[in-house]
C-alpha cells in the first residue's frame, strides 16, 4: 500500500526562507529563527517580513511575502492568529511552497479557530503548498542550518550533526528532546514538531525521515494518530530501511488517557490498540526521553548483536555480578568463554584472576594498561559471544590509558560493545564515543539499551516481510448494529473457516427435544437463541448437563416461556453435546476506526481478569502470524500438551483463525465476531462453545 505522503524536502531543505512577524529581538518568537540561522550560517536567503521595519537583525525587511519579489521556498509565520489566513493567501499568491505556522489560537482553542484551521488546510492543499502547524514549534535541519523553530532548547548547547531524527506531536517534548540530545552529545539530522497537524502529520514526517539519507534512527512522540494506515506504512518503511523507530506514546494508563483527552481535544484511544500495532510492525516503545536517549546512543554507535551471548568484563567483582543479574533479567546469557579464549586470557592475566564470565579483571589489572590491553585483545576475538559490556568505575587518573585500550580492542570489531563507566571524565566519554564506543553512567541504562537493540534487529527482518501486506482498511464507526445469536453467528464462521463446533440440533418446540436426544449424546447444553439476549447465562438462557428427555422438554419449554414473556425474537433453542473442557481461549474480531480490523486472542476462564494473557494484531494475518500470537501467550503451553495435559492442534487453529479473520476483514457488513469460549477439550480438540456477531447494514456509511 502506498499513501500519498507529503514530500518535505522544500520544508527541510529550502533555498530561501521568509519570516513573517520578524523581530529585531533575537529572544522573541519572530526573532529567534533569524538569530539562530544567522549564527549558524544558513546558506540561503532570509527575508524578514515586518511592515514596520526596513532592516531586521541586519537583513533587509519586507512588508509582506508578496513584496519580496523573489522566490520563497519556506515562510515561517509568527503572527497573531487572526492575521494568519491573510498571510497564507498572500504567500500562496506569491508562490511560497511551504509554511510553518507557529501561531496558536486555532483548532486547539475554539470552534472558530478550528474553522480557520480547516480553511488554511484547504488553501494549502489547493495550492500544493506544505503546511506545518498551526500551533507548532516548527522544524529543524541541523546539516543545512535550517532552524524554522523558536525553541529555546538550543541556546545553551553546541549543535551536533548526526543520525538521530525526531518527530513530535508536542512542541514541549520536542524541545526537551533537543536539550537532552545536545546535552548528551548525540548528533541530530532533522527535527519536526507537527502541532495541530492541519497539513503535515507525524506520518508524513516519519516517511520523510525514512528516506532522509542523514537519518539513521527515528525518535517519535505521539499522543493520538488519526491517519492509521499512513502511520503504519511510514513506520514500516523506516523500519524496513534499517531505521529503528523509538516511540513514546503518552496516555498509556487510564489516568493518562483522560489527561491526554483534555490536552489534545481528541479522545486518546484505548492504549492496547496502539501497543498491538507497535508490536506487530516492530516500533520500539520507550517510556521516557532519557530512556530513548540511552537506546539511541547504543544503536547509533554500535551494530546489532547477532545473538544473546554477552561477555562481561569488570574492574569490580560486585559490579560484574550486578551486570550479570541485569543481563539475565533482560533475557541475555552470560556463558563461559570458549577454551581458546580462556587460554588467551590466562596467558595475559596474573595468576589470581580466573577467566570466568563475568571476568573480574580487578582494579590492579585494569590499572596496568599493558596487561589490561592484552586481556581486552584476547576477548575481542571470543567467537561464541555476540556482544560485550565493559564495566569501569572511577579510575580517573588512568582513564586515558584505559580508554585507549578499549578503543584498540573493541572499536570496529563488528561486535556490539557497551561501556558502563561510573564517574567517567567527560573528555574520556567524548573520546570513546568518537571511536564508536557508547558510554553509560550506570548499569541499568546500558542493559536496557542492549535489550531494545536486540528487538530492533528482529524488527527489521519482520518489517521487510510485512511491507508487501495489503492491510485491511479501517471503516468509519457504524451507526446501527444488529446482533446475531450463536447459531446464526456460526453460519459465517463455518462458511469461512474450519473451526469446529459441538454436535448440535436447533429445535423450536419441546417435542423436538426428544427426537434430538436420539441424534445427540447427552449430557446436553440447552441455549436460547435470540438476537435480543446475547448474555444468555445471566437470564436463564443457558442450562447445562441435561440427560433425560423429561427434564430436557421442561427446560426447552421454560426457555420458550422466557422468550415469550420478553417478546424476544427467537431463532430457536439450541441443543449441543458437551465435552469436558481442559482450557479456554477467547477469540474476537473487531474493527478499529483508525487502524483497521483486528484479531484478539486471549486465555479465557475464571482467571482472565486476575492475570490477563492476551494478544492483538491487525488483519490480514498469515497462519504463521496467528500461530506466533498464540505461542506468545504466557499460558500457551497449557494448550500444547504441557505436563500431560491435552495437546491441541495449534497450527490448525491458527489456519482457521487466519481464514476467518481475512474473510471478516473483507466483509464490511460484519462489525464484530466473538468466540468465547473457544475450548480445548480434554481429548485435545479445539471447539467453539459459544459465539456471537454484530452486523451493520451493507450501506451503513458509518
Which residues lie across from 572 on neighbouring strands?
529
Judged by beta carbon, residue 473 or residue 633, the one nearer a second copy is 633
To the nearest whole angstrom, how small is the minimum distance from the Cβ of residue 39 to a second copy?
17
Please pick, from the candidates 172, 266, 519, 666, the single residue that binds a second copy as defined by CB under 8 A. 172
Interaction of residue 290 with a second copy, rule CB under 8 A: yes
The interface with a second copy within residues 136-165 (CB under 8 A) comprises 152-153, 155-156
To the nearest whole angstrom, how small is the minimum distance from the Cβ of residue 326 to a second copy?
7
Site string for a second copy, 362-391 (x = CB under 8 A): -x----------------------------
Per DSSP, the three-state class of 190 is strand
What would you report as the CA-atom Rg of the chain, rounded to the nearest whole angstrom?
Answer: 32
To the nearest whole angstrom, how small is the minimum distance from the Cβ of residue 38 to a second copy?
20
Judged by beta carbon, residue 310 or residue 505, the one nearer a second copy is 310
Residue 83 contacts residue 117 (beta carbons within 8 Å): no
Please pick, from the candidates 36, 99, 221, 595, the single residue that binds a second copy as defined by CB under 8 A. 221
- Cell digits for 292? 530513548
Site string for a second copy, 51-70 (x = CB under 8 A): --------------------
Judged by beta carbon, residue 288 or residue 498, the one nearer a second copy is 288
Judged by beta carbon, residue 115 or residue 258, the one nearer a second copy is 258
Euclidean distance between CA atoms 566 and 234, whole angstroms: 52
Q: Which residues contact 550 (CB under 8 A, 6 or more apart)?
A: none
Please pick, from the candidates 25, 83, 288, 509, the single residue that binds a second copy as defined by CB under 8 A. 288
Residue 700 contacts residue 478 (beta carbons within 8 Å): yes
Euclidean distance between CA atoms 118 and 110, whole angstroms: 12
Euclidean distance between CA atoms 45 and 189, whole angstroms: 21
The interface with a second copy within residues 638-697 (CB under 8 A) comprises 638, 642-643, 645
Residue 383 contacts residue 357 (beta carbons within 8 Å): no
The interface with a second copy within residues 618-647 (CB under 8 A) comprises 634-635, 637-638, 642-643, 645
The interface with a second copy within residues 312-341 (CB under 8 A) comprises 315-322, 324-329, 333-334
Size of the site for a second copy (CB under 8 A): 82
Judged by beta carbon, residue 336 or residue 476, the one nearer a second copy is 336
The interface with a second copy within residues 101-140 (CB under 8 A) comprises 109
To the nearest whole angstrom, how small is the minimum distance from the Cβ of residue 443 to a second copy?
6
The interface with a second copy within residues 507-566 (CB under 8 A) comprises none
Interaction of residue 466 with a second copy, rule CB under 8 A: no
Judged by beta carbon, residue 272 or residue 333, the one nearer a second copy is 333
Closest of 690, 488, 687 to residue 572, by C-alpha: 488
Q: Determine phi and psi for 619, rounding to 5 degrees.
A: -95, 155
To the nearest whole angstrom, how small is the minimum distance from the Cβ of residue 196 to a second copy?
13
Euclidean distance between CA atoms 298 and 363, whole angstroms: 26
The interface with a second copy within residues 181-200 (CB under 8 A) comprises 183
Give the ranges where 287-333 is alpha helix by DSSP (H).
289-301, 317-329
How far is CA 339 from each of CA 261, 313, 320, 378, 381, rounded to the nearest angstrom? Answer: 59, 17, 21, 12, 12
To the nearest whole angstrom, how small is the minimum distance from the Cβ of residue 70 to a second copy?
35
Residue 135 contacts residue 264 (beta carbons within 8 Å): no
Euclidean distance between CA atoms 440 and 433, whole angstroms: 10
Euclidean distance between CA atoms 157 and 36, whole angstroms: 12
- Cell digits for 36? 539562530
User: Strand pairing of 686-688 and 439-440?
Assistant: unpaired
The interface with a second copy within residues 2-61 (CB under 8 A) comprises 27
Other CB atoms within 10 Å distance of the CB of residue 126? 9
DSSP 640: B
How far is CA 211 from each of CA 99, 199, 204, 207, 339, rounded to the nearest angstrom? Answer: 21, 19, 11, 7, 46
Euclidean distance between CA atoms 432 and 430, whole angstroms: 6
To the nearest whole angstrom, how small is the minimum distance from the Cβ of residue 248 to a second copy?
7
Q: Which listed range, 1-9, 337-345, 358-366, 373-381, lies at the site for a second copy (CB under 8 A)?
A: 358-366
The interface with a second copy within residues 78-97 (CB under 8 A) comprises none
Judged by beta carbon, residue 63 or residue 423, the one nearer a second copy is 423
Please pick, from the candidates 397, 498, 508, 509, the single residue that binds a second copy as defined by CB under 8 A. 397
Interaction of residue 470 with a second copy, rule CB under 8 A: no
Q: Which listed range, 32-40, 250-258, 340-348, 560-568, lies at the site for a second copy (CB under 8 A)?
A: 250-258
Q: Is 42 left (phi over 0), alpha (psi -120 to 50) or beta?
A: beta
Judged by beta carbon, residue 354 or residue 564, the one nearer a second copy is 354
Site string for a second copy, 589-618 (x = CB under 8 A): -----------------xx--xx-------
To the nearest whole angstrom, how small is the minimum distance from the Cβ of residue 588 to a second copy?
20
DSSP 466: H
Judged by beta carbon, residue 153 or residue 429, the one nearer a second copy is 153
DSSP 555: H
Judged by beta carbon, residue 315 or residue 556, the one nearer a second copy is 315
Judged by beta carbon, residue 114 or residue 127, the one nearer a second copy is 114
Site string for a second copy, 416-445 (x = CB under 8 A): ------xx-----------------xxxx-
Buried b (16+ CB within 10 A) or exposed e, 8-40: bebbbbbebbbbbbbbbeeeebbbbbbbbbbee
Amino acid at each position: 500500500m502506498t499513501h500519498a505522503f507529503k514530500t518535505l524536502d522544500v520544508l527541510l531543505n529550502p533555498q530561501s526562507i521568509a519570516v513573517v512577524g520578524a523581530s529585531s529581538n533575537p529572544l522573541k518568537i519572530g526573532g529567534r529563527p533569524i538569530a539562530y540561522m544567522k549564527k549558524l550560517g544558513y546558506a540561503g536567503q532570509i527575508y524578514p517580513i515586518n511592515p514596520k521595519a526596513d532592516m531586521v537583525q541586519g537583513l533587509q525587511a519586507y512588508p509582506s511575502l508578496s513584496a519580496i519579489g523573489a522566490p520563497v521556498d519556506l515562510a515561517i509565520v509568527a503572527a497573531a492568529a487572526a492575521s494568519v489566513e491573510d498571510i497564507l493567501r498572500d504567500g500562496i499568491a506569491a508562490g511560497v511552497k511551504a509554511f510553518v505556522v507557529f501561531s496558536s489560537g486555532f483548532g486547539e482553542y475554539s470552534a472558530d479557530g478550528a474553522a480557520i484551521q480547516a480553511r488554511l488546510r484547504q488553501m494549502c492543499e489547493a495550492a500544493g503548498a506544505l503546511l506545518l502547524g498551526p500551533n507548532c514549534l516548527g522544524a529543524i535541519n541541523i546539516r543545512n542550518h535550517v532552524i524554522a523553530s523558536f525553541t529555546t532548547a538550543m541556546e545553551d548547547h553546541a549543535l551536533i550533526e548526526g543520525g538521530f531524527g525526531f518527530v513530535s506531536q508536542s512542541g514541549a517534548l520536542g524541545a526537551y528532546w533537543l536539550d537532552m540530545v545536545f546535552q548528551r552529545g548525540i548528533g541530530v539530522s532533522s527535527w519536526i514538531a507537527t502541532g495541530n497537524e492541519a497539513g503535515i502529520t507525524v506520518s508524513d514526517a516519519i516517511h520523510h525521515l525514512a528516506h532522509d539519507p542523514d537519518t539513521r534512527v527515528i525518535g517519535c512522540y505521539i499522543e493520538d494518530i488519526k491517519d492509521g494506515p499512513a502511520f503504519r506504512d511510514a513506520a514500516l518503511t523506516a523500519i524496513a530501511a534499517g531505521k529503528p523507530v523509538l516511540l513514546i506514546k503518552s496516555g498509556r494508563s487510564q489516568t493518562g488517557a483522560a489527561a491526554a483527552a483534555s490536552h489534545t481535544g481528541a479522545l486518546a484511544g484505548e492504549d492496547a490498540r496502539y501497543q498491538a500495532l507497535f508490536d506487530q510492525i516492530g516500533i520500539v516503545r520507550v517510556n521516557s526521553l532519557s530512556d530513548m536517549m540511552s537506546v539511541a546512543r547504543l544503536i547509533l554507535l554500535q551494530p546489532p548483536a547477532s545473538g544473546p551471548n554477552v561477555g562481561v568484563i569488570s574492574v569490580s567483582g560486585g559490579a560484574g555480578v550486578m551486570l550479570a543479574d541485569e543481563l539475565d533479567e533482560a533475557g541475555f546469557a552470560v556463558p563461559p568463554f570458549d577454551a581458546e579464549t580462556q587460554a588467551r586470557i590466562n596467558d595475559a592475566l596474573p595468576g589470581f584472576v580466573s577467566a570466568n564470565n563475568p571476568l573480574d579483571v580487578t582494579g590492579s589489572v585494569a590499572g596496568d594498561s599493558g596487561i589490561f590491553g592484552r586481556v581486552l585483545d584476547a576477548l575481542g576475538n571470543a567467537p561464541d559471544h555476540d556482544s560485550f559490556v565493559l564495566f569501569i568505575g572511577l579510575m580517573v587518573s588512568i582513564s586515558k590509558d584505559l580508554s585507549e585500550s578499549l578503543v584498540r580492542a573493541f572499536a570496529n570489531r563488528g561486535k556490539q560493545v557497551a561501556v558502563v563507566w561510573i564517574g567517567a571524565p567527560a573528555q574520556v566519554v567524548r573520546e570513546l564515543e568518537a571511536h564508536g564506543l557508547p558510554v553509560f553512567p550506570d548499569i541499568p541504562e546500558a542493559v536496557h539499551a542492549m535489550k531494545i537493540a536486540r528487538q530492533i534487529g528482529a524488527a527489521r527482518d519482520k518489517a521487510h516481510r510485512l511491507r508487501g501486506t495489503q492491510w485491511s482498511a479501517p471503516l468509519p464507526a457504524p451507526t446501527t448494529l444488529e446482533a446475531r445469536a450463536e447459531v446464526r453467528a456460526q453460519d459465517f464462521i463455518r462458511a469461512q473457516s474450519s473451526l469446529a463446533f459441538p454436535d448440535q440440533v436447533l429445535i423450536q418446540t419441546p417435542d423436538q427435544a426428544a427426537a434430538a436426544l436420539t441424534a445427540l449424546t447427552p449430557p446436553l447444553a440447552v441455549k436460547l437463541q435470540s438476537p435480543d439476549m446475547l448474555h444468555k447465562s445471566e437470564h436463564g438462557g443457558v442450562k447445562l448437563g441435561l440427560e433425560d428427555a423429561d427434564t430436557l422438554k421442561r427446560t426447552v419449554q421454560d426457555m420458550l416461556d422466557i422468550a415469550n414473556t420478553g417478546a424476544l425474537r427467537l431463532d430457536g433453542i439450541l441443543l449441543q453435546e458437551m465435552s469436558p473442557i481442559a482450557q479456554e481461549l477467547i477469540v474476537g474480531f473487531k474493527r478499529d476506526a483508525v487502524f483497521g480490523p483486528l484479531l484478539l486472542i486471549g486465555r479465557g476462564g475464571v482467571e482472565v481478569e486476575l492475570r490477563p494473557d492476551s494478544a492483538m494484531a491487525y488483519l490480514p494475518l498469515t497462519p504463521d502470524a496467528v500461530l506466533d500470537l498464540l505461542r506468545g501467550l504466557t499460558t500457551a503451553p497449557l494448550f500444547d500438551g504441557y505436563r500431560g495435559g491435552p495437546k491441541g492442534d495449534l497450527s490448525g487453529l491458527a489456519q482457521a483463525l487466519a481464514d476467518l479473520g481475512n474473510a471478516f476483514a473483507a466483509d464490511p457488513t460484519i462489525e464484530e465476531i466473538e468466540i468465547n469460549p473457544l475450548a480445548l477439550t480434554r481429548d485435545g480438540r479445539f471447539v467453539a462453545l459459544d459465539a456471537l456477531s454484530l452486523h451493520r447494514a451493507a450501506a451503513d456509511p458509518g
